[in-house]
Amino acid sequence: MNQMVIGCWYSAIYKSEFRITFQVLALDGKSVSLCREDGAIVDSLPSGYVSLVDHGDCKPENSRVID
């Protein structure tokens, strides 16, 4: 997560095609503040994601994956 940009949206993709979509609120050295799509503010993502998709400054439509 070293190359993220404040204000941009990203999706962390996990093996099971599950994804967590979030916006970067703050970057301060090694700490980050992220706002998940559900509105929760977190300082990290669950480990194990296999890729990170950059959506730029626009929130992606229909980004939730529902089984």
> Which sequence spans correspond to the domains of the chain?
9-56
Which tens digits make up the pLDDT trace of 10-53?
Answer: 999 999 889 999 999 999 988 899 999 999 999 999 999 999 99
Closest by Cα among 28, 21, 39 to 6: 28
Instruction: Tell me whether residue 62 is exposed, middle or buried, using C-beta atoms within 10 angstroms of its C-beta: 0 to 12, 13 to 18, 19 or more.
Output: exposed
Please tell me the pTM assigned to this model.
Answer: 0.82
pLDDT of residue 62: 62
